[in-house]
Amino acid sequence: MARRKRPRRATGRPRKLERATRLRFEKLLSSLSVGLIHVNARDTNVAIERALQQVVTFLGVDRGGLHERAEGRPRLQVSCARPGLEESPPVTAEDQFPWVSGRLLEGEVVRFSRLEELPEATAVDRASFTRAVTSIKPTPDS
């Protein structure tokens, strides 16, 4: 029986870097989770905002936000921005980001580094991102 060999990478370094980064992120999330366990109710939003700031810093993005759906519309619950940037508005209108909103409602993760990576049908989203954001990593509620 012949075995199929997996192609080898030129060096093992990129794979080690990926694992190291993933491990650092998992440690961060674990640490944040432990830190949130004992937060009393009145301090929850402040604690979540601090945790979100750490995630934003780790990911190297400009802003982060946790949204909830209220009355069928998204509402910003907690947000943070790196120093020097404006805070996100309290409501991110679905009509400003219709393609992204649709993907998130379907449970998909939307990830891109440059606006050119978005599909052609995202003209409205592209224009909104150009006005408001320089980096983003939206993820669906889970």
- Tens of each residue's pLDDT in the chain, 142 residues: 454 444 444 555 667 778 888 899 999 999 999 999 989 989 988 898 899 999 988 988 888 877 776 776 666 677 888 878 776 665 566 778 888 888 877 878 887 778 888 888 888 888 887 776 544 555 555 4
Residue 19, burial from CB neighbour count under 10 angstroms (0-12, 13-18, 19+): exposed
Closest to 91 (Cα-Cα) out of 112, 109, 70: 70
What is the model's pLDDT at position 73?
A: 66
What is the model's pLDDT at position 62?
A: 81
What is the model's pLDDT at position 51?
A: 92
Which amino acid type is present at position 65? G
Record the pTM: 0.60
What is the model's pLDDT at position 114?
A: 82
What is the model's pLDDT at position 67?
A: 72
The answer to whether residues 45 and 60 touch, using CB atoms and an 8 Å cutoff, is: no
SS3 call for 66: strand
Residue 16, burial from CB neighbour count under 10 angstroms (0-12, 13-18, 19+): exposed
Tell me the C-alpha distance between 5 and 44, whole Å: 51
The answer to whether residues 52 and 64 touch, using CB atoms and an 8 Å cutoff, is: yes
Residue 95 has phi, psi (to 5 degrees) of: -75, -15
What is the model's pLDDT at position 24?
A: 93
